[in-house]
Structure 1
Amino acid sequence: MLPPPTKAALRRAALPRRLALSPAEVARRSEQLSAQLFTHFPVATWRWLHVFLPLAAKHEPDTWWIIHRIWTEKLLVRLAAPMVQPDGISLKNYELTSATPLLTNCWGIPEPAADPAAEVAPARFDAVLVPLLAVDERGQRVGYGGGFYDRLLAQCRPETQFIGLNMLADAPGLALADVLPTDVPLHACVGPGGVWKF
């Protein structure tokens, strides 16, 4: 029997595979992720959805497919996007509209301009879309290792849905060997070809 994988091992395996995807394949899979989300989740009934903005250099899922569909269909759900704080370990969230100015941070991630009047508390979110590199059979995710999303998810309401977006077509893997008490599991993971619920 294989030993349980570690986050570092999964990170080392998944990131090069994602970076090997062509821009056309990234776009195709991102469109599929959006379609899966709208098919399997009641997006139109949510009041607030937290959505990360993609780090294109690392071939993250292009969440603009989701954002523009919400705006085009004039759904009532309101969007919030994160901004990394000067402490380097936490996020603040600001309402995202078609008029929101965006700035690019030091990692190349677009962020909404900080506007205190547009800040949205995590307790308001009905669902959070979570970036990831891999996920295990219990919904424990592997990200880049900064812990930003574990801290954010811990501030949400118990009924908030945590939904990972996985650019790779992998089914959830074996239980991770190095889960920490501060790690917050997902409720579901959306892949290009389907959805897994935990």
Structure 2
Amino acid sequence: MHLKSVALTTEEIRRIVRQRRRDLVISERLHAEQSIYRQIYQHPKLLSAKKIAIFLSFDGEVNTQPIIEYLWQQNKSVYLPIIDLTNPHHLAFLPYHRHSQLTTNKFGIAEPIYDVDKILPYQSLDIVFTPLVAFDHRNYRIGMGGGFYDRLLQNYQHDNIYPIGLAFKCQQIKYVANQSWDIQLPEIIIG
């Protein structure tokens, strides 16, 4: 069922869709995630990609740990986003390994411990798996409200980065009232 998002504020949409996502019963969630994983494991862009950014799941998001495990098995370099301490309105990316130490950021999200010497310039990434709260049929997304991914992906085509959103079907709404700075994702993998 689609929300009539035109009549709701973005904050109301976030609240409703986040609750929908958290309310998924375990069997629905597992079935949807298996569908997402199959699509990712067979994704042609993943074959040639070497450096992949992905997020750690939070607040009912698609569980990304099996994707991370798969990427490690395929000898891909995995990077996690962190809030850049030198520019707190932007993301930076640090390598993520099985034994990476994590800390919790101001939003309660796990991230690697900041180390300026290990930051990868985002232009070096091949794929950026992108979190989202809600999305529409045009692949416009509503995030958590910080604008981090919209700023990051502003020039993704020029930088030759391929962003992929990950979402459950229940996160789709009829229409995202996008602003000029909002990034339309080239692809959202839905389960």
TM-score per shorter chain, which class? 0.7 to 0.9
Q: 2:56 aligns with which of 47, 53, 58?
A: 53
SS in 2 for 1:11: helix
Q: Residue 140 of structure 1 contacts residue 186 of structure 1 at CA under 8 Å; is this kept in 2?
A: yes
Query: Aligned to 1:189, what secondary structure does the other structure show?
Result: strand
1:84 is aligned to 83
- RMSD (Å) for aligned C-alpha atoms: 2.4
Correspondence for 1:96: 96
Per-residue CA deviation, residues 155-174 of structure 1 (Å, 9 max, x unaligned), is: 545332111000x2248543
| Alignment pair present for 1:10 and 2:13 | yes
Q: Distance in 2 between matches of 1:94 and 1:106?
A: 17
Q: Which runs of 5+ in 2 are unaligned?
A: none
Instruction: Look up the equivalent residue of 1:63 and give its one-letter code.
Output: T
Partner of residue 41, structure 2: 38
Aligned to 1:195: none
Aligned residue identity for 1:35: R
- 1:63 correspondence with 2:64: yes
The separation in 2 between residues aligned to 1:138 and 1:107, in whole angstroms, is 28
**Is it true that 1:141 corresponds to 2:141 in the alignment?**
yes
Change (3 A) 1:37 1:144: same
Distance in 1 between residues matched to 2:70 and 2:145, nearest whole Å: 30
Paired residues of 1:122 and 1:156 also in contact (CA < 8 A): no
In 2, distance between residues paired with 1:82 and 1:22? 28
Moved more, 18-27 or 180-189: 18-27
Structure 1 residue 32: Cα displacement: 3.3
Counterpart Cα distance in 1 of 2:13 and 2:39: 24
Is the 8 Å Cα contact of residues 21 and 171 (structure 2) preserved in structure 1? no
Aligned to 1:111: 111
Residues matched between the structures, number: 185
> CA–CA distance in 2 between the matches of 1:171 and 1:39?
23
The corresponding residue for 2:174 is: 174
Matched AA of 1:71: W
Q: Give the CA deviation at 1:176.
A: 2.2
8 A contact 2:72–2:78 mirrored in 1: no
Cα deviations by residue, 1:92-114 (Å, 9 ceiling, x for unpaired): 11111223221122332110112
Question: Cα 1:77–1:116, aligned 2, differ >3 Å: closer, same or farther?
Answer: same
TM-score (norm 1): 0.81
Contact 1:122 / 1:155 at 8 angstroms: preserved in 2? no
The 2-side partners of 1:157 and 1:190 are apart by: 19
Q: Distance in 2 between matches of 1:184 and 1:112?
A: 26
Instruction: Summarize the Cα distance change of 1:83–1:9 in structure 2 as closer, same or farther, 3 Å threshold.
Output: same
Output one character per residue of 1:52-92: Cα deviation in whole Å (capped at 9) or x when no partner: 1112xx111211110011223xx242111111134542211
Aligned to 2:165: 164
Partner Cα distance (1:119, 1:54) in 2 = 21
